[in-house]
Every structure is written in structure tokens, then in C-alpha cells.
Chain A
Amino acid sequence: MIMPAHRAGRTYWFMRGMQGIFSLPALILLSSFIGFAGFASEAGLTMSETVFMVGIVWALPAKVLLVSGILSNASLPAAFLTVTLSSIRLMPMVAALIPEIRTRKTPLWVLLLISHFVAVTAWVFAMERIRDVPADRRITFFSGFALTLSASAMILVALVFSIVDELPPLLAGTLFFLTPIYFLTSIWASSRDAVGHYAMIAGLVLAPVFHQISPEFDILYTGVVAGTLAFFVQRSVSSKKPTKERP
């Protein structure tokens, strides 16, 4: 069923979002969740605890840190602190996405509700494609994608949970490796301007440095320092050549 995009209704755009489950970002994230299910089961979590965690926390790095905390028998305040520090990055990500998807009529509670589904994959997916969606259909499109992705991950984790321990280590390691390399290439490809590339390089270079200085706050320090650095580099470059660059 092909309709002119600007006249298509909500159902059409919800389904278009749902189709995103067959995109590369979604497939790689789901593969990473197989690796995560193995990690959680190794740590002694039950299947229902793990599925619950997938749905309610959603960001994969946060979950990996939470399970690491459980594994090391960390206290609840300590686990909370680690997870919350790693998740500060969600704030600028959501703050960058919201102006793209809301219209002047969008109620605040809708934005608060769908913000739960923002994690790297949904963010990359949305920032890449949202400008091709009519403004008043963007929330519908994003919801279609986010709900499908989240439900699929929960079902997948439930299905593989009991068999994942038997995966050969080579395969399990490869599944874990998919996540960072996928983040790296897809965020690079979806950057609209040079500042995204500067921020990525600065972040990759500075992360090991800050890890030596402060292993607990390294993500936060790297983000603020490398991000600010990239911002000023871009400002000084673009003030030298006033013509606007559009790749």
C-alpha cells in the first residue's frame, strides 16, 4: 500500500516505524541482547528478572553495569550511583531528539513517556531517519519503532535465556563485540555535521585517559571534556570558512 507520505495517516507511520525492526541497528541490538542474556544468566539472575530489567531499564550499557554490580555484590546505593552516572548521557541524547520530534501541540506527558525508549539504538535510528517523516507524524513513527524493538528484545531474551549458557565462548564474545563496533560506525555515518565526528574521535581518545584518572566517572568526564572540545573546534573551523557544509 503506497500512499503519498504527506497525506498518510497515523497507522501508516506507526507501521513504518515497526518496519524498523528489520533495520541493521535493530538486528545488531537484538544480537547484542543474546550476549546480555548470557551475561545475566551467568550472574545468577532468573529469566523473569532479566526480562523485567530489559523492559524497564532499556539502555544496554546501564543494564550491563547493573548486572556487573549484582555480580560483585555491590550495595544498592553503589549500584544506583554507577548506573546513574553512566546514564547521564541519556539527558543530552533526549534533549537533542525532543526538538526534532515534538510539535507545538505535543503534550509533555507524551514526551516523558516515549523518552523511556531512548537509548543509543533508538536514538541513532531516529536521528538518521526522522527528518524524512512529516513533523506531526514523528512521535507516531518513533513509537512504532521503539515499542516493537523493546517488545522484541524482551521476547528474545525470554526465549534464549535458558540455552544461552551453552553458546561457545567465541560466539558469545563476538556477540558482545557487535555493540561497540555498531555504535561506532552508525553514529559516525549518521552525524549531520563535523562536530559529531570531532566528538567521536575526542571521546575515543580521551576515554582511556580518564579511565586511568577516575575509573568510576570516566564516561562522564570524557563526555563533557571531549564534547566541549569538539564544540569549540567546530566553532573555530566554521568561523574561518563561512560557507555552510552539508555532506
Chain B
Amino acid sequence: MMTWQSLDAWWWPFVFIMIGGWLATDAWRWLGVLIGNRLSDDSPILIWVRSVATALVAAVIAKLILYPSGALLDFPVILRAGAALFGFTVFLKFNRKPWIGILTAVVTLVAGQILLANL
């Protein structure tokens, strides 16, 4: 099978990125243009499309917090989810300013991790 390491040529990683990354993403964007070009501004279909788009991003958010990769794995899942939930609650209480929620969540995460390390 063709993997990242299967060819030693300098250009192979770039081809890999072009097919596995660029083609795999831009094909959907182009399809979105062709569909969006036929939709009028506030049709029910467009509301449904927007709803699905938001739910897809919600799934990405949940996955990045609950099943992350890399450095976030060092933090316990309960701390990641708790910090996000707390930040979101504070965001809702304080006039829905994104920076308030982000700051709260990050401070909670860092404080929690430092606390756990010193227990």
C-alpha cells in the first residue's frame, strides 16, 4: 500500500498532501459553491444546510475535547470537559462575549492541571 514512507523521493510527501489533503477538502468546497449558488438567501433548505454545518462543527468541537491527539492527552478528560463546560457557562452568563468564555476555560484548564500535578 502507498503510505507516507513508501517512496523516498522528495516530491512524494507533497503528492501525498495534495491527494490526501487538498483534493479531499477542496472537492467539498467546490460542491458547496455549486449548491450554494442555487440557494436563495433564507430558504428552508439553506436553514437546514446551516443547521447541519453547525452540528458538524459541534461534533469536531466535542472530538477535539474528548478524543484529542498530541499534547492535550496529558490532561485528564474530566478536566478538559469540565473546563470547557465551565468556560461555556460563564460565557452564557456574561453577555455572550467569546473572550470571557475562552479565558475562563483556559485558566480553569491550566489551574486544574497545576493543582493535579501538586496533589
Inter-chain contact A185/B36, CB cutoff 8 Å: no
> Which A residues touch B110, using CB under 8 A?
170, 174
B62 to chain A, nearest CB (A): 4
A116 to chain B, nearest CB (A): 6
Inter-chain contact B62/A207, CB cutoff 8 Å: yes
A78 to chain B, nearest CB (A): 8
Inter-chain contact B24/A87, CB cutoff 8 Å: yes
> Which A residues touch B50, using CB under 8 A?
92, 96, 195-196, 199
Per-residue 0/1 for B1-40: is the Cβ within 8 Å of any A Cβ (1 yes, 0 no)? 1111100000001101111111111111111110111011
Identify whether the interface residues of A are mostly helix, strand, loop, or mixed: helix
Total interface residues in chain B, CB < 8 Å: 79
Partner of B106, one of A45, A90, A174: A174
Q: Does A20 contact B (CB under 8 A)?
A: no
Inter-chain contact A222/B109, CB cutoff 8 Å: no
Q: Does B82 contact A (CB under 8 A)?
A: no
> Which B residues touch A93, using CB under 8 A?
32, 53, 56-57
Inter-chain contact A186/B98, CB cutoff 8 Å: yes
> Which B residues touch A8, using CB under 8 A?
none
> Which B residues touch A62, using CB under 8 A?
21, 24-25
> Which B residues touch A39, using CB under 8 A?
69-71
Report if A228-B48 is in contact (Cβ < 8 Å); known contacts: A69-B20, A80-B24: yes
Taking CB atoms and an 8 Å cut-off, the chain A residues in 24-68 that contact chain B are 24, 28, 35, 38-39, 42, 45-46, 49, 52-53, 56-59, 61-64, 66, 68
Q: List 5 A-B contacts (CB under 8 A).
A: A38-B70, A74-B4, A84-B25, A177-B106, A183-B61
